[in-house]
Homo-oligomer: A and B are copies of this chain.
Amino acid sequence: MMLRIDEKRLLNNLNSLAQIGCTPDGGVSRPALSEADAAGRAWFKRKVQEAGLTFHADEAGNLSAILPAANPDARTLLAGSHLDSVPNGGRFDGALGVLAALEALQTIKEAGLSLPVHLEAISFTDEEGSVVGMLGSRALTGQFAEADLEQARLGQEELSAGLPRLNLVRSDIHLARRNPETLAGYVELHIEQGTRLEEAGLQIGVVTSIVGIRSFWLDFAGQAAHAGTTPMDKRADALWGAANFVLQAKELVMAQFSPGVVNCGQLIVQPGNFNIVPARVRLSLEFRHGSEDTLDEMEVALLTLAANIADQHHLSFSSEPAGNCIAAPMNPRLIQAVEQAATQLELRHTRLLSLAGHDAQTLSPFTPSVLYFVPSVDGISHNPREYTRDEDVINGANVMLHTLLILAENAS
């Protein structure tokens, strides 16, 4: 009979973690560096220690449970995801991947198996981007510098208040970098956050490539003015320009760049009074596509559109990059290992593209990486109603267990 994870323990752990930063409607708010993030981390450390695994925290706040191989010079096979959430998000995004990896290690330890690689279940800091996005996986792979914090999305004040909560020191974060020769690969389980598996009646989706994501801050600047005495046709209302861009960017991407997507998720008006014509709008822009060439085309088209709209409304326009995650193909050998595990477990699986960024994207140029999905009910995610059925949670963790065993065997 095949080895299986402890279903009840895994479901209990998922439920217990979801109480930390829980929202009244059953969701989770655990943004990186928040008090809730710090509490979630303390909970994870306890669980690692209860499991009899070795706890480790690096300079970037990445937290690990380690099941050492007999040979101290063995390479390390990583498995994990992230414990942070978006504000008012769901309980599965990230948490499932970390807890499934922890559960797999605990199962292997309890089975008394001796493997030729160290196994490390890891939670990466700030995947969701409260700070800079994938801070932890970027630091581990040498793709982070202290200067990156100057663009911290939560602002310098919140950043300075938040870093000590995680025992982080600005100037030390880059020291989390590892030597890729010490690593044997990275495996990540995540919820799909879409409806393709559910609609096709499948249980496991193995990702062949993760979309690239580019983001920008757009600034539309007009003229503050009295909202009564300034004639409508004499106003340089920054919100008129930004509103026009939000609508036209949507039309442009749907018409010309499908299946690429675009989102304007934040819009800040200054001075922001009932009776003052908006002087300035700062708008966040993010767009995604599986091809880097198409991302180049989208960038030109969207920034040109914004500049043209600003002109029409007598506004000035500027933009600054706020993030760039390149499209990331997954490793064929690791893809096959996940498929083999799913087949052994008699689970219906398929290959697909990931439209969301994940830590596996950052890891993939550094060490052989793979990402796979279990279904999300109705595809809802980044929302308190995010939900994945117990049986899919369990399937995902069992695939993790056997993928690690297959890769460990082949690494010997």
B265 to A195, Cβ gap below 8 A? Answer: no
Q: Given A271-B88, A275-B128, check contact A234 B195 (CB 8 Å).
A: yes
**16 cross-chain CB contacts under 8 A:** A128-B273, A129-B274, A129-B275, A193-B229, A195-B231, A211-B228, A215-B274, A225-B381, A232-B261, A239-B264, A239-B267, A263-B276, A265-B278, A266-B272, A266-B274, A276-B382
Smallest CB separation, A188 vs chain B (Å): 15
The listed residue (B194, B225, B239, B323) touching A382 by CB distance below 8 A is B225
Q: 1/0 per position for A354-394, CB-CB distance to B under 8 A?
A: 01110000000000000000000001111100000000000
Q: How many copies does the complex hold?
A: 2
Beyond A87-B272, A267-B269, 13 additional pairs, beta carbon < 8 A: A213-B275, A226-B381, A227-B286, A227-B288, A228-B355, A228-B356, A229-B379, A232-B258, A243-B244, A244-B247, A263-B276, A265-B275, A276-B382
Q: Given A239-B267, A243-B247, check contact A88 B261 (CB 8 Å).
A: no
- The main secondary structure of chain A at its interface with chain B is loop
A228 to B213, Cβ gap below 8 A? Answer: yes
Which residue in chain B gives the minimum CB-CB distance to A88? B271
A265 to B254, Cβ gap below 8 A? Answer: no
In the assembled complex, the Cα of A323 lies from the Cα of B274 at a distance in Å of 10
Most buried by B among A193, A213, A239, A380: A239
Residues of B within 8 A of A357 (CB): 228, 275
Residues of B within 8 A of A243 (CB): 242-244, 246-247
In the assembled complex, the Cα of A164 lies from the Cα of B242 at a distance in Å of 38
B247 to A383, Cβ gap below 8 A? Answer: no
In the assembled complex, the Cα of A215 lies from the Cα of B279 at a distance in Å of 19
* A 78-97 contacts with B by CB, 8 A: 86-88
Closest 8 CB pairs of A and B: A227-B263, A243-B243, A228-B355, A193-B229, A194-B229, A228-B356, A243-B246, A226-B381
Residues of B within 8 A of A141 (CB): none
* A 260-299 contacts with B by CB, 8 A: 261-267, 269, 271-279, 284, 286, 288
Most buried by B among A227, A278, A381: A227
A274 to B284, Cβ gap below 8 A? Answer: yes
